Amino acid sequence: MTTTPNPCDLLVTGDLVLTLDPQGRTLTDGALAVVDRTIVDIGPADEVSPRWVPASSVGGSGRIAMPGLVNIHNHTPLMITRGMIEDIGFAPMYTPGIPQGHWLTEEDAYALSCLGMFELLRAGCTTVVDYYRYPQSCARAAAELGVRAVIAGRIHDAAPDALAAGRYEYSRAIGEASLAENAKLIADWNGHDGGRIRCDWAPHAPDTCSDDLLREVGKLAETHGGNVHTHLSQLPLEVDAVRARTGLTPPQLLDKLGLLNDRLIAAHCIHMDRPDIELCGKAGITVAHAPIGNAKGGRIAPIIELREAGARIALCTDTFSGDLIEAMRWAIAMQRINRQGTVLDARTVLDWGTQEGATALGMSDRIGSLEVGKRADIVLLDNRSPSLAPMVDGYGVLVHSASGHDVDTVIVDGRVVLSGGKLTLADGAAIVTRAQAVASALWKRAGRSPLQ
Ligand SMILES: [Zn+2]
């Protein structure tokens, strides 16, 4: 008996489909049908394809389909410092002699955010957490290029010029302005395009925010819902400053102010002692682990200990690259150096870059794996890339050998936003040229003469 095929918006096929579903199914010659942004059918192509009449099709022979990657901590306008900051300092906000966030105009931030969103999509990141000054520029870039994004402002009341000179001077006016900016972002952008853009609250760090400001953000976030994004125990400077100001470690301070809980996504978590690790684990925070950033600073976060204590681990590239696959294998390598042994494996870090990030964001019912009922956020890799052979279990060669450049096509919310490595909704070459011009002008202001 044959049934009449139904119309669907998109049919995705591939030599392999890595579903990353709870059963860990990998389909050979698989297919997915998409209706109204959502996966409605998945299985062997010879079973799925006859059931549907697609409005369009992508994939086919030579493609591997997998869930879109979830990159859980970035500041795309800060890409202005990459390629330089790595060798002259660590966290840009604490470093003199480089372009600073408060020098940017809103249009500068937009130009740089477009560059960042382009690179992230190019490397298969379909969901991106991004927060910085002029957050509406980040939201606009993500909206226009088709990225799923969680956007927030950069809340702080430490004066940036004093901070770059090594002094902590708290200003009520700066704190109120950054709160107002985040509130306006939420009013203007939260829920945009069927929820593709979500907005949260993001206090910069326990040392760059006073106790009063952190308390205020905690109250606002409680009413708003979503996550609170921050940096935690990133630098010895931060730990020393918080201890001098409050007598507490940074996690102890956030705990006292009501922010250390399972809604907190805390980047770095490097400089933590055993009691800090236990406290963060017990609170069930998510660590936004940035292994490449850790390595560039010569430090390694104790993520295995944090995970054993109860914390969730998710992955990020934290601005300096968009390649989360590279970050996955760095996460493994860093811990093996740290622990002097074969700890972690490809499937574990692949989960950190997909399902664990989705769960941390409260989106595990929508993204993180390829399953019926989830949004169609799908990456197609080039199965003919030399980096992807030999394909044995599907996970090992992907994590240990592939890179973001093996990504050919990216689908977000059922819409093809990258095809053949090129953006479909914007001019990628123009984005790079515009961002270079912005960066050159700001580096000139910082006293450098950029190559042209
Ligand atoms: Zn950061």
Do 194 and 147 belong to one domain? yes
Q: Is 296 a member of any domain?
A: yes
Q: With 60 as the cut, is the pLDDT of residue 381 above it?
A: yes
320 CA distance to ligand 1 middle (Å): 10
294 falls within a domain? yes
Residue 371 lies in a domain: no
CA of 212 to the centre of ligand 1 (A): 22
CA of 356 to the centre of ligand 1 (A): 19
Q: Are residues 140 and 45 in the same domain?
A: no
197 and 56 in a common domain: no
276/225 same-domain check: yes
Which residues, chain by chain, have CB under 5 Å from ion ligand 1? 267, 318
pLDDT in tens, 332-368: 999 999 988 999 999 999 999 999 999 999 999 999 9
User: What is the C-alpha separation between 133 and 118, in angstroms, rounded?
Assistant: 19
Task: Answer yes or no: is pLDDT of 452 > 70.
Answer: no
Does 173 lie in the same domain as 46? no
Query: Over the stretch 192-216, which tens digit does the pLDDT of each residue have?
Result: 999 999 999 999 999 999 999 999 9
Q: Residue 370 domain-assigned?
A: no
pLDDT at 298: 87
173 lies in a domain?
yes
Q: How many domains would you assign to the chain?
A: 2
CA 380 to centroid of ligand 1, rounded, Å? 28
Is 393 inside any structural domain?
Answer: yes
User: Is residue 361 within 8 Å of 129, Cβ to Cβ?
Assistant: yes
| Average pLDDT of span 235-259 | 97
Name the 3-class secondary structure at 418: strand
CA 373 to chain centre: 23
Range of the domain at 264: 69-360
Q: What is the mean pLDDT of residues 81-92?
A: 73
Dihedral of CA 205/210/211/214: which sign?
Answer: negative
CA 366 to centroid of ligand 1, rounded, Å:
25
Q: Please check whether residues 160 and 238 belong to one and the same domain.
A: yes
Q: What Cα–Cα distance (Å) separates residue 421 from each residue in 337, 356, 395, 418?
A: 34, 26, 22, 6
pLDDT at 29 over 70: yes
Q: What is the mean pLDDT of the chain?
A: 95
Distance 294 CA to ligand 1 centre (A): 11
If you measure from the C-alpha of residue 355 to the centroid of ligand 1, how many angstroms do you get, rounded to a whole number?
A: 21
412 in the same domain as 321: no
Examine residue 452 and state whether it is found in any structural domain, yes or no: no
The CATH number for 146's domain is 3.20.20.140
Q: Distance, CA 348 to ligand 1 centroid (Å)? A: 23
First to last CA, the chain: 67
- Considering the domain architecture, whether residues 240 and 312 belong to the same structural domain is answered as yes
Same domain, 91 and 48: no
The pLDDT, as a whole number, for residue 283 is 98
Say yes or no: 56 and 74 in one domain.
no
- In a domain, residue 433? The reply is no
Ligand 1 mean position, distance from CA 198 (Å): 18
State the distance from the centre of ligand 1 to the C-alpha of 290, rounded, in angstroms: 9
Give the pLDDT score at 88. 73
Predicted confidence (pLDDT) at residue 2 exceeds the cutoff of 70: no
Helices (H) and strands (E) in the chain, counts: 18, 16
- pLDDT per position as a tens digit, 47-79: 999 999 999 999 989 999 999 999 999 999 988
48 lies in the same domain as 116: no
In angstroms, what is the span from residue 267 Cα to ligand 1's centroid?
6
